Amino acid sequence: MENINEYQQVRNAVEKHPYKTQFFQEMLLNYLPEMRLAIRGGHLTKVEGWRNILEHQAVEIVAMDIFCDLLGVESKSKKKLMSAVAYHDWNKRLELGKINEDQINVEQTKSYLEILHPDQQLLDAVEPGFLHELENNQPNLLQLAMFYIDDITFESTIMPMKDRLINSKDRNPDWERELKLGKYVESQLFDIIKKRDVPVATPSDIPTLILKGIQEKMDSLLIPK
């Protein structure tokens, strides 16, 4: 069982970090093609009240960076995963019916997508249909990592999977099934991390471990250059 006190302490430290805003702003400069797709293609603009989606994706980029290192994912696959989480919700407004297709510049959006070469297998891993895939097939490690990071990110916060799914259960009637499958995925990923001699006690401690990694990256900005 996860150490709730430790998790809350690390989470508070991350959320109140003096360099949090600067850290994420600088990090997003490395993902301009992804941001163009989200902001210009998907109309996820701050002015129109959709900044929260960008913040969600930003947190997932950093979380995936840390998680890939914990899993030992090689650099090419890591880069692909970090790019995928950076734009995976770009069409959220379309999905929710908050914007019409005729409001989208199709040619411009197509050009953004061509630059990014979306990996559909990775994008499928954050869709509801992936639960069926988990029940009937054996997804690869990159898909499991994609699924897991999205399943522990609520808005712009990393949290234990159960808490995250309970927080969003009003929008997800299948949350109990997802939790059961998610916990199985978490245990698989834990085994990989544990074999790499990473100091983590239980599968449910992984979100805290990732938060610690985020805090360390923010702390690096405090070091005089």
DSSP 223: S
Look at residue 128 and give its three-state secondary structure.
coil
Confidence (pTM):
0.94
| Mean of all residue pLDDT scores within the chain | 94
Tens digits of residue pLDDT in 83-135: 999 999 999 998 888 888 788 888 999 999 999 999 999 999 999 999 999 99
> pLDDT exceeding 90 applies to what percent of the chain?
87
Rounded to the nearest 10°, the torsion over CA 58, 59, 65, 68 is: -130
Q: Count of CB atoms within 10 A of residue 92's CB? A: 19
Which has the higher per-residue pLDDT, 37 or 104?
37
pLDDT above 80 (res 4): no
Burial label, 10 (beta-carbon count in 10 A; 0-12, 13-18, 19+): buried
**What pLDDT score was predicted for residue 180?**
98
Closest listed residue to residue 122, CA positions, set 66, 167, 79: 79
- Say how many domains are in the chain: 1
User: Would you state the structure tokens that stand for residue 26, as one six-digit string?
Assistant: 């600088």
Q: How many of the other CB atoms lie within 10 Å of CB of 4?
A: 12
Give the pLDDT confidence score for residue 2 in this predicted structure: 55
As a whole number of Å, the CA-based R_g of the chain is 17
Q: List pLDDT tens digits, range 123-180.
A: 999 999 999 999 999 999 999 999 999 999 999 999 999 999 999 999 999 999 999 9
Closest Cα partner for 43 from 98, 84, 88, 82? 98
Q: Is pLDDT at 210 greater than 70 in this prediction?
A: yes
Q: Which domain holds residue 164?
A: 4-222
User: Is 1's pLDDT higher than 80?
Assistant: no
Question: Strand, coil or helix: what is 114?
Answer: helix
For residue 224, what pLDDT band results from cuts at 50, 70 and 90?
low
Residue 82's SS3 state is: helix
CA–CA gap between residue 120 and residue 123 (Å, rounded): 5
9 has pLDDT over 90: yes
Least confident interval from 37-46, 58-67, 139-148, 181-190:
37-46
Coil vs helix vs strand at 154: strand
Which region holds residue 17: left if phi is over 0, alpha if psi is between -120 and 50, else beta? Answer: beta
Three-point CA angle 143, 120, 58, nearest 5°: 70
